[in-house]
Each structure stands twice: as structure tokens, then as C-alpha cells.
Amino acid sequence: MITLNSYLSKTYGSSPLIVFRIGFGLLMLISLIRFWINGWIEELYINPQFHFSYYGFEWVKPLGNFTYILFLICGVSSIFIALGYKYRFSIILFFLSFTYIELMDKTTYLNHYYFISILSFLMIFLPLNIRFSIDSYQKKVSYNKVPIWTIDSIKLLITIVYLFAGIAKINSDWLLKAMPLKIWLTSKYDLPLIGETIMHKEWFHYLMSWGGMFYDLLIPFLLLISFTRGFAFFLVVFFHVFTVILFPIGMFPYIMIFSALIFFSSKFHEKIIYNISNFLDKLIKSKKIFKFYNTYNIKNTKIIYPVIVLFFIFQITFPLRNLLYEGELFWNEKGYRYSWRVMLMEKMGYTTFKVNDLDSGKSFYINNRDFLTPFQEKQMSFQPDFIIEFAHFIGDYYKKNGIKNLTVNADSFVALNGRRSQRFIDPEINLYLEKRSFKNYNWVLPFNDEIKGF
Amino acid sequence: MKKILTLLILILLITCSKESGSDTIVSVVDATPVVANSSDTSSNNDADSTTETNTSDTSSDSESASFDRKAMLENWVNNIIIPLNEDFKTKLNSLKEETSKFKTSPNSENLKLVKEKWLIAYKSWQHIEMFDYGKAEEIYYQSKMNVYPTDSERVERNISSETYNLDNANNNDAQGFPAIDYMLFGIADTEEKIIEKFSQSDNKYISYLTNVIDKMYSVTSEVSSYWTDNKDSFISSTENTATSSINKVTNDFIFYYEKGFRANKIGIPAGVFSGTTLPDRVEGYYSKIYSKQLALEALDAVENFFSGKKFNSDIKGESLETYLNFLKSDGTDLSKSISDQFTIAKEKINSLNEDFTSQISSDNNKMLITYDEIQKGVVFLKTDMLQTLSISVDYIDADGD
């Protein structure tokens, strides 16, 4: 307990938190603007007539044209976060609006969106506005030091992400077959210089696979040690820029590059703040009338400590939940999401549904595109929980349209990581009677190969 | 510190400009976009691959060999698409000529010749319907040529009113081959009465027929010259993007197999999507006896394109088949599975009645069995082949992980 207490009372310069707040707010703002400008709000949330929900969050649906307001709220709150204006309120608003957006349709699920959701949740409990912010300007109070755990908690979250991503890469497809990188890298034959020379070489596929694994497993430690930090940051930049060139990966690389800065010393961040404030001073001639206090003391620790501890227990255990399920994780995808399994699969499916009218004995196949966007159809075709949800939607739809007694069966084939396609869903099972649950899915046929590893 | 910042900004700028380009292309699979694999794009023809021989196994050693995508595109456009389009145009022209003879002397002999030329042209059309690319896509070529069932009432209305615009999309099902099918076989019960209608003094029927054929000929000329004018840019577009020739034509090919061939010719009339059979939806409904011939012709077209068979020749060039052989990752012979499946589908179609309408009413089950075999081909093309080529099914706009 003494060591724990002494850790909790240990302090560190507050500048890393401040820079993190500003950068986070700005990056989120850019992400949201980019999303809006690309027309994705309309395309992904307004146009589709059906939305795939997360289990337990079926009540979260797009809000029609109010969805734009939702994005607006999210965008404005990220500006406020960057400015440190009404910070606690803004970060809560950001967390809620951003998470709501992500929960509206799981077709768009990305690990980094989940990362942002949980990071913004953590940030609710951290004092990121105690300096160099409108909040602190208004109160005319500024703090130079914070308990070191507040900074460490962000580092810990990033470490968890990298480590789980690395562990997930320790599997036979990734390491022994260089899959799916073999498929993806080879398809990048049109890149200048490297496209025609090395992208199709087998040694390169293995190099990238093994390199990727070691990168994820080692980078948090290389960032933690001050001796290797500069080199580690160079690796971070190199790795993520490389992924930007190779894959349509959105804002994720920038977020990860920026997040890695939290590992740098407070001196480093002081310089950033100094530069920004110099720049701002030229713009606005403001008089600094701050009372400088030394250390910011976290209030409500009785609530905050347990919340943070529970949060991290959850973050460490939840990604392991796949261990509770039988069968191949990549095939059944039980416990695949929220566990930092990034780019591990090239999975392609073809799934159609047959509706049988039990009273007339007639049966017919439906055209997925009558109900789904191409993107939704693609995602639905290889993910069991999408398939069951869509089967129910179809059943309900035709029930409403006059077929009283019906069954819904799927004709489904999936190819995984370069293997030949295999029947995916048991065609005999009436999916309309099956329920979504946390249990194993009995309607998914077993994978006819084995992938060893995590 | 400053160094790191400038580095960051620099990277952000460079990668941002890169990213915006690739963003529009994005496939939906975890991370990758669109088509095609492996190396060596722009090496000039025949760097190391065999264009002229029957290549069902070019590669095997993916370390050293590379696939000549340019050679594949050249084969597609120079040996398949352009000759097919020219051939089709010629056949349409003979239909045109025969029709004008029929116009001058509307007799049974000339009607027979018109029907013959119509069938020859219709078969030839089966080979180019899949290339919904460039001009064809822009002017909705397929919709002008082969939307069936034709709207016979609309055809009659157009004929009697004489005020119609064939460019109007509403008239897509009142023109093209199916409308001619109706006019040559369906406007009256007997051949005499049909000839009678064409010899009416007001010329209404014969001029509608002529106008429909003229329209077909003019859009075909447009498409045909598009291909000759744009073949160089087509061949050089070897990149892996949503708009590159390889990706677009491959997607068109798969879409045709699934929709134009599988659904339109077999699935829809057999009631696969409706629960009840729809015999009036067969291709060539009024002429009755050609539905099987047309379906077999379409499957030939599919096989020929897949294996890169040159027009009017048994020589095969670079194709999806040789490309798959080059890329095959797990040693199983995917291209063989695909061509075997085409063969099985062909056997099944061959076992059907010449007239699908009567097949449907006598034993629809045979139609459904045929459909199932064609369907297996869709699975191969849309999962195994697309995954191997790393092509997206459609261009969808979103980020990956």
C-alpha cells in the first residue's frame, strides 16, 4: 500500500496532458469534417433503409436528418476540448455523441473508432484543462504538475492496444503463411518504385508480417524507455505512414502517431506549449494574470480511482473473451471485435437468403440489394451476427407483407485468407427461429481448417 | 523538437494527398481496395509471359515470374472486345439490309431471312453484353438492346401513335432484340397475318421495325468506335483502382454472369426470386424456340472471356484464368474449378428443352437444378476469385481498419 500511495502522490509536469488535449480535439475535428465532406453521413447513416445493430444496442438508430446535428454536436465538442472550454462537459458530450454515432450501424465498425470511444471515456476523468485552456484562463488558475498516474493511464491504454494487436498476430496464418498480407501487398502492384519490384515477393510478405508483429509487441516498451524513445517514434511514424500508403485506413495512423507523443517528456511538451503560446501572443495581446499553483489535486478520488481501475480491468479482460468460445475465432467471429484484431483477415463472403412460405409451399430467394447498400451487403455476407440479424429483418418484412408462416434459410459461402470458399451457414437451419446471444452460434458450420495461435 | 514537428507536418501533407486519392476507391474488406495482384505492370508485352499459347499454367513460381497485366488487357480489347463489336455490327447491318428488302417485298421468304439475321445478330450480341464499360455504360447500351420481357403494349402504342422517342429510358423495354422478337413472331397468330401487318399501307409496323434496328445499329456504332478510339488508354490502365480497366471489366464480367446470365435467362423465369414461375420472362419469348440457344451462346461468351479465347480462333491469350493461375495462393486449382463449373452448367442447360417456356411448364425442377449449377459458379467468382485477385465487388467508400 505504501508503494501504491507513493505512486498515487507522485507528480509530473502537466504539459503532456495539455498537448494531448489540444491534439485530440483537433484530430477529432478533422476526422469529423472529413467524414462529413466525404458524404459518408448520408451514405452510411441516412440512405440505408436498414441498419445493423450491436447486440443490446438495437435502440441506437440514425436520427434521420438530425444525424447531421449529432455530428455537429460532436464536432463542436471537439473544438471545445481543444480549447479547453467547459472541458468536463465537452468531453462527456463528445464521448456520448461519438459513441452514439458508432453504435448506429455496426457495418462501419472499426477498431480505431472503438479506441476513440474508450479513450474519450478515460479522458472524462483526467484533468486536461488545468492549464493553457479557456477554463484555466477564466478561473485565472493554472497548474504545472499533475499526479503522474493521469499521464500513465493514457500510456497504459495505448500499450494495451499495441500489445493485444501484437498478440493477435501470433497465429499460423499471419506468421507461417504471411496471410492476408500476401494478398494485400501483392495487389499493390501499382505503387511507384516498390509496386513492381518487391510487393509481390514472398520474402517481403513474411518480412512485413513478422515485422508487424514485433512492431506491435515492442513499440510500447521502446516508447517507454527514454533511451530508445526517439528511435521508437521514428518507427511509429514509418510504420503508420506505410499503412497509409498501402491501405485505405482513414485517420487511424495519424491518431496513433499523435498518441505516441504522450510518451515524451514534459520538457518536450513544454516546448510545444511555449511555441503555441508564442504564436498566440502574436495574434492576441493578452495579459497573463494567472495564479500559478504547483500541483493539481484530483478531486473525487473515491469515485475516480475505482472507475479507472474497473476500466482497465475491463480493457485487459474483454479482448480475451474469445477464449470462452469454441471454434475458430476468424470463422465464427465470436469475440473478434473490441479486441484489437486489426487487418488479420481477408474474408470474402457470398450470402443469399431463401424465404419459404410454409402455407403455400412456395419459396424464393431475395435480392440483398433491395434492402442493403453494397457496403452493408459485403459486410453482412461473411459475419454471422450480421447474417442472423438480416435473416430476422427479412422474416419480419415478409411476415408484414402477408406470409404468415415462413422460414428463412441462408445459402452462404465464405473464403478466408486465401483458402477456397466453404459453406458457411447451415442451409437446413431456419434462421428466423435462431436468436442472437452470447452463446456459440450453432448455425455456423465448422471451419474446415485450423488456424493455430491467438 | 522542431525537427519532429516539421517531420510530422511533412508526413501529414504527403500522406493526406495520397489518402484522398485512395479513399474513393476503398473496398470494404478490412483494409484493401480493389483489383488484382502481383508485380510487373508496365513491362511491355511479352516480357516473360506467354500470350500466344494456351496457358493454363503460366506461373507456379510466383517468386520469379510476374504477370503481364498489360498483355491481358491487350488480349481483352484487341482480340476479344473489338473484333466482337465489329462482328456484331456487321451482323446488325445484314439484319438492317434484310429488313429493307423485306420492306420492299414483304413476303414469307424475306420474313424468314429477317428472322434468320435477327437470330444471328442476337447470338452475337450475347458475347458483348457483358462489356458494360465506357461508352456502353454511359449510354445504357444494354438497356437499349436487350431488356426483356418487352412491353408489347408499349410497342403497339408506339406503332400506332408514331410519336415516340427511343432515347427515352421509358422505351427501353419497347426496343432492342426483345421488341423485334415480338414484332417478328408475336404481333399476330399466323405468319400471313404478321406479313399482312408489315405490308399495311400506312407502313406503321415496318417503319417501327426499321427504326428500332436503325437505333440499335447507331448505338452499336457508337460503342464500337469508342473501343477502337480508346483501346490505348484501356490497355495502359493497369492500376488497381475502382476505375481501372482490369477492375471495371472484371466486375462487369462477374455482374453479367450473375445478373444477365444466371438471373435473367434462368433464375427469374424459373421463379427463383418470386416463388412462382414466370415463363413469360424467358429470353426470346415470342419466338419460343431460341431461349436455350441464346443461353448456351451466353455461356460460351462467359467461358471465352474467362479463358481469354481470341475471337474466331482457338488460341487463348492472357486472361482471368492465367491471372488466377499466376496468383493461386494455396496450390488448389481455382481456375480449373471455375471452368469445370462452367462445363457442368453447360451440360445442364443442354439437357433442357429448346424452349424454356415449355421446360418451365413441363418440369421446372430441371430449370432449378440448372440454376443451382450456375449459382456455384457465382460463388467461385465472387468469393474465391475476387479474394485471390483482391478486387472489390463494387466501389464503396469507407475506411478500413
| Three-class DSSP labels, chain A | CHHHHHHHHCEEECHHHHHHHHHHHHHHHHHHHHHHHCCHHHHHHHCCCCCCCCCCCCCCCCCCCHHHHHHHHHHHHHHHHHHCCCHHHHHHHHHHHHHHHHHCCHHHCCHHHHHHHHHHHHHHCCCCCCCCCHHHHHHCEEEEEEEHHHHHHHHHHHHHHHHHHHHHCCEHHHHHCCCCHHHHHHCCCCCCCCCCCCCCCHHHHHHHHHHHHHHHHHHHHHHHCHHHHHHHHHHHHHHHHHHHHHCCCCCHHHHHHHHHHHHCCHHHHHHHHHHHHHHHHHHCCCCCCCEEEEECCCCCHHHHHHHHHHHHHHHHHHHHHHHHCCCCHHHHCCCCCCCCCCCCCCEEEEEEEEEEECCCCCEEECCHHHCCCHHHHHHHCCCHHHHHHHHHHHHHHHHHCCCCCEEEEEEEEEEECCCCCEECECCCCCHHHCCCCCCCCCCECCCCCCCCEC
Of B28, B35, B380, the CB nearest to A379: B28
Please list every residue in chain B whose beta carbon sits closer than 8 Å to the beta carbon of residue A259. Answer: none
Please list every residue in chain A whose beta carbon sits closer than 8 Å to the beta carbon of residue B250. Answer: none
Whether B383 sits inside 8 A of A248 (CB atoms) is no
Half-sphere exposure in the Cβ direction for B149 (13 Å, CA): 17
Whether B29 sits inside 8 A of A348 (CB atoms) is yes
Residue A264 has pLDDT above 70, yes or no: yes
pLDDT at B326: 87
- Closest-CA residue of A relative to B43 is A196
pLDDT at A197: 84
Q: How far is A126 from chain B (nearest CA, A)?
A: 25
Whether B41 sits inside 8 A of A254 (CB atoms) is no
Kindly state whether residue B80 falls inside one of the protein's structural domains: yes
Please list every residue in chain B whose beta carbon sits closer than 8 Å to the beta carbon of residue A201. Answer: 39, 63
Whether B29 sits inside 8 A of A346 (CB atoms) is yes
pLDDT at B58: 37
* Terminal Cα-to-Cα distance of chain A (whole angstroms): 35
Of B32, B62, B378, the CB nearest to A187: B32
Whether B271 sits inside 8 A of A364 (CB atoms) is yes
Kindly state whether residue B257 falls inside one of the protein's structural domains: yes
Interface size, chain A vs chain B, as Cβ–Cβ contacts under 8 Å: 199
Using one digit for the tens of pLDDT, what is the confidence trace for A306-351?
999 999 999 999 999 999 998 999 999 999 999 999 999 999 999 9
Whether B399 sits inside 8 A of A257 (CB atoms) is no
Whether B397 sits inside 8 A of A38 (CB atoms) is yes
Q: How far is A53 from chain B (nearest CA, A)?
A: 18
CB of B5 within 8 Å of any CB in chain A? yes
Kindly state whether residue B234 falls inside one of the protein's structural domains: yes
Return the amino acid letter for B68.
D
The per-residue pLDDT of chain A, averaged, comes to: 93
pLDDT at A414: 97
- Whole-angstrom distance, CA of residue B246 vs CA of residue B223: 19
- Whole-angstrom distance, CA of residue A386 vs CA of residue A113: 19
Please list every residue in chain A whose beta carbon sits closer than 8 Å to the beta carbon of residue B401. Answer: 110-112, 249, 252, 342-343
Confidence of residue A277 (pLDDT cuts 50, 70, 90): confident
Kindly state whether residue B186 falls inside one of the protein's structural domains: yes
- Closest-CA residue of A relative to B240 is A190
Whether B8 sits inside 8 A of A186 (CB atoms) is no
Whether B30 sits inside 8 A of A233 (CB atoms) is no
Residue A285 has pLDDT above 80, yes or no: no
CB of B65 within 8 Å of any CB in chain A? no
pLDDT at B400: 66
Distances, alpha carbon A168 to alpha carbons A38, A159, A337, A424, in Å = 32, 14, 12, 23
Of A179, A190, A379, the CB nearest to B41: A190
Of B39, B380, B398, the CB nearest to A200: B39
Q: Based on the structure, what is the number of domains in chain B?
A: 1
Length in residues, chain B:
401
- Closest-CA residue of A relative to B35 is A187
Whether A200 sits inside 8 A of B23 (CB atoms) is no
Of B27, B32, B273, the CB nearest to A365: B273
CB of B62 within 8 Å of any CB in chain A? yes
Regarding pTM above 0.90, the answer is no
Structural domain of residue B378, as residue ranges? 69-389
Whether A415 sits inside 8 A of B383 (CB atoms) is yes
Whether B42 sits inside 8 A of A379 (CB atoms) is no
The DSSP call for residue B169 is: G
pLDDT at A283: 73
- Closest-CA residue of B relative to A416 is B387
CB of B239 within 8 Å of any CB in chain A? yes
Residue A237 has pLDDT above 60, yes or no: yes
CB of B274 within 8 Å of any CB in chain A? yes
pLDDT at A292: 74
Q: How far is A300 from chain B (nearest CA, A)?
A: 36
- Whole-angstrom distance, CA of residue A307 vs CA of residue A149: 14
CB of B191 within 8 Å of any CB in chain A? no
Whether B386 sits inside 8 A of A43 (CB atoms) is no
Please list every residue in chain B whose beta carbon sits closer than 8 Å to the beta carbon of residue A52. Answer: none
- Closest-CA residue of A relative to B276 is A362
CB of B44 within 8 Å of any CB in chain A? no
Most A CBs within 10 A among B329, B364, B365, B371, hence the mutation to make, goes to B329
Kindly state whether residue B139 falls inside one of the protein's structural domains: yes
pLDDT at A395: 97
Please list every residue in chain B whose beta carbon sits closer than 8 Å to the beta carbon of residue A195. Answer: 39, 41
Please list every residue in chain B whose beta carbon sits closer than 8 Å to the beta carbon of residue A250. Answer: 19, 23, 399-400
Whether A374 sits inside 8 A of B272 (CB atoms) is no
DSSP reduced 3-state for B398: coil
Please list every residue in chain B whose beta carbon sits closer than 8 Å to the beta carbon of residue A369. Answer: none
Which has the closest alpha carbon to B143: B89, B216, B52?
Answer: B216
Using one digit for the tens of pLDDT, what is the confidence trace for A356-414?
999 999 999 999 999 999 899 999 999 999 999 999 999 999 999 999 999 999 999 99
Whether A413 sits inside 8 A of B22 (CB atoms) is no
Confidence of residue A194 (pLDDT cuts 50, 70, 90): confident
Q: How far is A111 from chain B (nearest CA, A)?
A: 6
Kindly state whether residue B296 falls inside one of the protein's structural domains: yes
CB of B399 within 8 Å of any CB in chain A? yes
SS3 assignment for B26-90: CCCCCCCCCCCCCCCCCCCCCCCCCCCCCCCCCCCCCCCCCCCHHHHHHHHHHHHHHHHHHHHHH
Least confident of A134-148, A272-286, B383-397: B383-397
Whether A251 sits inside 8 A of B399 (CB atoms) is yes
Please list every residue in chain B whose beta carbon sits closer than 8 Å to the beta carbon of residue A188. Answer: 240
Whether B39 sits inside 8 A of A241 (CB atoms) is no
Residue A275 has pLDDT above 50, yes or no: yes
Kindly state whether residue B21 falls inside one of the protein's structural domains: no
Please list every residue in chain A whose beta carbon sits closer than 8 Å to the beta carbon of residue B240. Answer: 187-190
Whether A190 sits inside 8 A of B23 (CB atoms) is no
Separation of CA B237 from chain center: 20
Kindly state whether residue B10 falls inside one of the protein's structural domains: no
ipTM score of the complex? 0.87
Of A197, A349, A357, the CB nearest to B275: A357
Query: pLDDT of chain B along its 401 residues, tens only?
Result: 555 545 544 444 444 433 333 333 333 333 333 333 333 333 333 333 333 333 333 333 344 457 889 999 999 999 999 999 999 999 999 999 999 999 999 999 999 999 999 999 999 999 999 999 999 999 999 999 999 999 999 999 999 999 999 999 999 999 999 999 999 999 999 999 999 999 998 999 999 999 999 999 999 999 999 999 999 999 998 888 878 899 999 999 999 999 999 999 999 999 999 989 999 999 999 998 999 999 999 999 999 999 999 999 999 999 999 999 988 755 568 999 999 999 999 999 999 999 999 999 999 999 999 999 999 999 999 999 999 998 755 545 566 66
Please list every residue in chain B whose beta carbon sits closer than 8 Å to the beta carbon of residue A180. Answer: 30
Please list every residue in chain A whose beta carbon sits closer than 8 Å to the beta carbon of residue B7. Answer: 237
pLDDT at A278: 86
C-alpha cell, B270: 424459373
Spatial contact of B369 and B350, defined as CB atoms under 8 Å apart: no
Domain containing residue B234: CATH number: 1.20.1420.20
Whether B15 sits inside 8 A of A241 (CB atoms) is yes
DSSP reduced 3-state for B95: helix
Residue A290 has pLDDT above 80, yes or no: no
